[in-house]
Amino acid sequence: MDHKRIFAWTLPLFFFARLCGQSLPANAHTLLWKISGKGLTQESYILINTTNTCETRIDLNGKIATALSKVRSVVFEAAATNRANEKAFLAASLAIDDDYTAKQMLSPFVYLSLKEKAQEIGLNEAFLNQHNLFFVKVKLETACISCDLSGVVRFEDVVRDTARKLGLPVTELLSIDEFFDMYHHYPRAFWDKSISFLLDHPEQVTDAINKKAAAYRGDDLAGLKTAVGRDEYYGIRYKFPDQESSRSALLTTRIKEQITRAPALIVLDVSEVANDPTSVFNILTTEGYTLTPVFQ
């Protein structure tokens, strides 16, 4: 698949949405949204999720259970987050011919700083040269998580297990290769800013992770959008609208394909809706779909 062509044709869709889209109600304190309109014969749902919530027990609430009873499939954002794909994910994270490594993607000064500080969390230079920079970034961010990860339960795992018990097929919007390819399109400035922030302000990253997790546990989309979209660390990616717009447009296209085929529960990371100018929600509403908050 030619990923550059995908990014090229999805750009016009984004810019139309940016001109015409409207923000969702700021006080909509729910992470579950119903999609209707635009000729859909049955309603689908988008459920906003996030990572690193440090939960040790997760019980699906009644509204999610109801949504699952009305759909014919569950669709996660990326195959990269499926635990069953762990080996494939690790294989895809390996650098080939030094492509997308820290040394290639970072400016020399930032790379030198990374090489020095990464050793504190057990990442030597050989590791930096063996993996792509996104994987290194994940390792640095993981070191900022304040809870004990050994007992953490992931929401995605709970939903996947529930879907299996209900006999619902589970798919993803993006393959592992497409997932990594998206990050490969971000420029050096993005990586310099992101890695430098992780190295220089780990305590602020920890605080950002905790604020995001608190808003998520409170089922508070407004608070969650603020915790991500307006945060100094998480907000770095939104300074690069070309990459964000391509990403959002591609995800929106894949969502439309899924919900046109059959009613589905789409599980989407909050980062895809946190920044209004590049929000998947705004593209959908601009195109004539109706998004309705589900409170019970």
70-85 pLDDT per residue, tens:
999 999 999 999 999 9
What tokens does 4 get?
A: 């550059």
The reported pLDDT for the residue numbered 24 is: 52
Tell me how far apart the alpha carbons of residues 43 and 10 are, in angstroms, rounded to a whole number: 25
Q: What is the DSSP letter of 41?
A: S
| pLDDT range class, residue 22, cuts 50, 70, 90 | very low
The domain segmentation of the chain, as residue ranges, is: 3-293
The single-letter code of the amino acid at 137 is K
What tokens does 165 get?
A: 């018990």
The reported pLDDT for the residue numbered 122 is: 85
CB under 8 Å to 211, separation ≥6 — which residues?
227, 231
Could you give the angle at which helices 176-184 and 241-261 cross, rounded to 10 degrees?
A: 160
C-alpha triplet 93, 52, 25: angle, nearest 5°:
115
| pLDDT range class, residue 27, cuts 50, 70, 90 | low
Arithmetic mean of pLDDT over the chain: 90
The reported pLDDT for the residue numbered 134 is: 96
Residue 2 predicted with pLDDT over 80: no
Residue 15 predicted with pLDDT over 60: no
Q: What is the mean pLDDT of residues 231-259?
A: 97
CB under 8 Å to 97, separation ≥6 — which residues?
none
Q: What is the mean pLDDT of residues 255-259?
A: 97
Confirm if 70 and 35 have CB atoms less than 8 A apart.
no
DSSP string computed for 54-117: --S-----HHHHHHHHH-SEEEEEEGGG-GGGHHHHHHHHB-STTTT-HHHHS-HHHHHHHHHH
What 3-state DSSP class applies to 48?
Answer: strand
Q: What is the mean pLDDT of residues 225-250?
A: 96
Q: Helices (DSSP H) in the chain: which residue ranges? A: 3-20, 62-70, 86-93, 102-105, 108-118, 125-130, 133-142, 155-166, 176-184, 188-200, 202-217, 221-229, 241-261, 280-286
The reported pLDDT for the residue numbered 19 is: 37
The reported pLDDT for the residue numbered 65 is: 95
Whole-structure pTM value: 0.88
| pLDDT range class, residue 98, cuts 50, 70, 90 | confident
Q: What is the DSSP letter of 141?
A: H
Residue 11 predicted with pLDDT over 50: no
Residue 1 predicted with pLDDT over 80: no
Q: How many CB atoms lie within 10 A of CB 277?
A: 16
